[in-house]
Amino acid sequence: MRATRIPAHIFEEFVKGFGDPLISDLGGYLRWMRRMSILKTFWCSDWKSLGYLGLMDSGKLIGVLRALRMRVIFHGHGAWRGLRERGEIQDIFLLRWRIEYLREIFQRAEKIFSRHGLRDFGISEWKPGAWRILEECGFSPYARSVLITWNLREEIPKSGNREVVIKIGSRRDLRKLRRIQRESWGFFIRPSFRHHIILIAYLGEEAVGSAYLNKYTGNIDFGVHVRRGFQRRRVGAAILHSARNLFRKLGFRRMSVVRVLRA
């Protein structure tokens, strides 16, 4: 058994056999991941590919992964103290999740990271069945994230507040957006006017909620926000319905939102 570099098309061909909904097309998936890096989370911050690894046993490919170089952004300094960049392993696919398989392919990945001057690395893994094996290999979670998706061909079950009016925002609305986010989660992230369609929810003349729709990924970047005094009034649901309609017009089949949780 040995781990070796493989070309992208071999990685893609192997992964297709698992029916993963995110990686049905590798090129599209990588473009999506590149655009998702605007979120600056631990798994989709600015990254550069260091290649693909395959695990071979008796001439047969039994596992693959992607190796990346990733920037450590400001809110990751606690976990990655003193580092500006680190290694990152993503998209692990194995015919069977076994400790010896992981150890073999990780050792090869570590050599790649070392050659690029990266002394530490993290692993991002979505498949729940893999987590126990990773912990048995000595890796414990330092952050958790949930990717919530909606099939846009289906209706959103929860109805929105019919009194809410949704309008498209602009640069003139930054003060409103700042107030909404600060009353929602305590701080403000400016939208990217190149990436985002900005939705602002109004009750009467009052701006009470907002969302940034990423027109390249189908993601609601940084979540749906509602001012604290207007929560539990289905303002967020009204925003989701508008987001669904806009993303459908843009040709997306699903929309998503990322939530980062405490480890």
Q: Which residue segments constitute the domains of the chain, with CATH numbers given? A: 2-142 (3.40.630.30), 150-261 (3.40.630.30)
Q: What does pLDDT average to over the chain?
A: 94
User: Over the stretch 176-194, which tens digit does the pLDDT of each residue have?
Assistant: 999 999 999 999 999 999 9
Can you give the pTM of this predicted structure? 0.91
| Gap between the Cα atoms of 192 and 61, Å rounded | 42
State phi, psi for 55 to the nearest 5 degrees: -105, 120
Q: What is the mean pLDDT of residues 2-20?
A: 96
What pLDDT is recorded for position 151?
96
Length of the chain: 263
| Gap between the Cα atoms of 11 and 90, Å rounded | 12
Helices 128-136, 99-115: inter-axial angle, 10-degree rounding = 80
Cβ–Cβ under 8 Å, residues 198 and 168: yes
Q: In the structure, what pLDDT confidence band is assigned to residue 262 with cuts at 50, 70 and 90?
A: low
What pLDDT is recorded for position 45?
87
Q: What is the mean pLDDT of residues 120-127?
A: 93
User: Over the stretch 228-256, which tens digit does the pLDDT of each residue have?
Assistant: 999 999 999 999 999 999 999 999 999 99
State phi, psi for 67 to the nearest 5 degrees: -110, 135
| Gap between the Cα atoms of 211 and 152, Å rounded | 17
User: Collapsing DSSP states into helix, strand and coil, what is residue 147?
Assistant: strand
Q: In the structure, what pLDDT confidence band is assigned to residue 129 with cuts at 50, 70 and 90?
A: confident
User: What do you get for the CA distance between the two ends of the chain, in Å?
Assistant: 34
- CA count, 13 A, side-chain hemisphere, 146: 7
Closest CA to 166 of 216, 207, 214, 222: 207
State phi, psi for 176 to the nearest 5 degrees: -65, -45
> Which residues lie below 8 Å from residue 121, measured CB to CB, with a gap of 6+?
86, 87, 88, 89, 109, 110, 113
Instruction: Identify which has the larger pLDDT, 172 or 82.
Output: 172
Helices 8-16, 26-36: inter-axial angle, 10-degree rounding = 100
Name residue 65's beta-bridge partners. 53
